[in-house]
């Protein structure tokens, strides 16, 4: 009897265009669009040094996290810091300086159009660091997924009016930008 009533109810519901609720699969997170190790070549300004270049390597997990394990590094070659030899001449002295960092932690977030943000806490490593204050530094970037294996990255830590020394990252920031390529295939 119960089967007959249930069958009748379903038949009437179908005629009226009423469907039974179904469990719908949730769409995948946009963060899953990137996963693996990305190598990036960036150039622009870093602190008060225009003409700087950086190599950034980062591993992302497809769930919004920057992985703290190797690989994960930021190697910046600061552009020339020119100092006049004398007040009345146009000759300058200058030298390149390098900064080396490793990933302490980080997160990223993408929207469905492939645009998003990336934040990384960089810790200085090696004899070339620290070259900035404070240490570690938190760097922020806008990212755009341009293909399944490439990203565009642009620093959003721009110079503030408080930038008065050459080694203050929070005030002097970065204008580094460039592209990143996937170095290993996406893991399942």
Residues 124 and 99 sit within 8 Å (Cβ to Cβ): yes
**Residues paired with 77 in a beta bridge:** 53, 98
Longest Cα separation, the chain: 105
Average pLDDT on 5-34 reads: 59
The token duo for 108 is: 């990223």
Report the C-alpha gap between 157 and 174 in whole angstroms. Answer: 5
Q: What is the mean pLDDT of residues 168-177?
A: 89
Query: Which of the four pLDDT bands, split at 50, 70 and 90, describes residue 107?
Result: very high
Q: Is the pLDDT of residue 126 over 80?
A: no
With beta carbons less than 8 A apart as the criterion, state whether 54 and 96 touch: no
Predicted local confidence at residue 169, as pLDDT: 85
Pair of tokens at residue 112: 């469905």
On whether the CB atoms of residues 14 and 36 are closer than 8 A, the answer is: no
């Amino acid at each position: 009897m119960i089967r007959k009533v249930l069958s009748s109810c379903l038949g009437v519901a179908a005629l009226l265009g009423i469907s039974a609720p179904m469990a719908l699969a949730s769409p995948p997170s946009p963060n899953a669009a990137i996963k693996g190790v990305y190598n990036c070549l960036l150039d622009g300004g870093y602190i008060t040094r225009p003409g700087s270049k950086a190599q950034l390597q980062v591993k992302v997990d497809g769930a919004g996290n920057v992985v703290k394990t190797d690989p994960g590094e930021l190697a910046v070659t600061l552009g020339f810091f020119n100092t006049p030899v004398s007040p009345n001449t146009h000759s300058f002295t200058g030298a390149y300086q390098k900064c080396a960092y490793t990933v302490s932690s980080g997160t990223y977030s993408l929207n469905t159009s492939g645009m998003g943000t990336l934040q990384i806490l960089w810790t200085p490593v090696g004899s070339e660091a620290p070259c900035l204050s404070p240490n570690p530094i938190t760097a922020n970037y806008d990212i755009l997924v341009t293909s399944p294996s490439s990203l565009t990255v642009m620093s959003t830590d721009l110079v503030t009016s408080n930038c008065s020394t050459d080694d203050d990252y929070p005030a002097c920031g970065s204008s580094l930008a460039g592209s990143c390529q996937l170095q290993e295939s996406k893991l399942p």
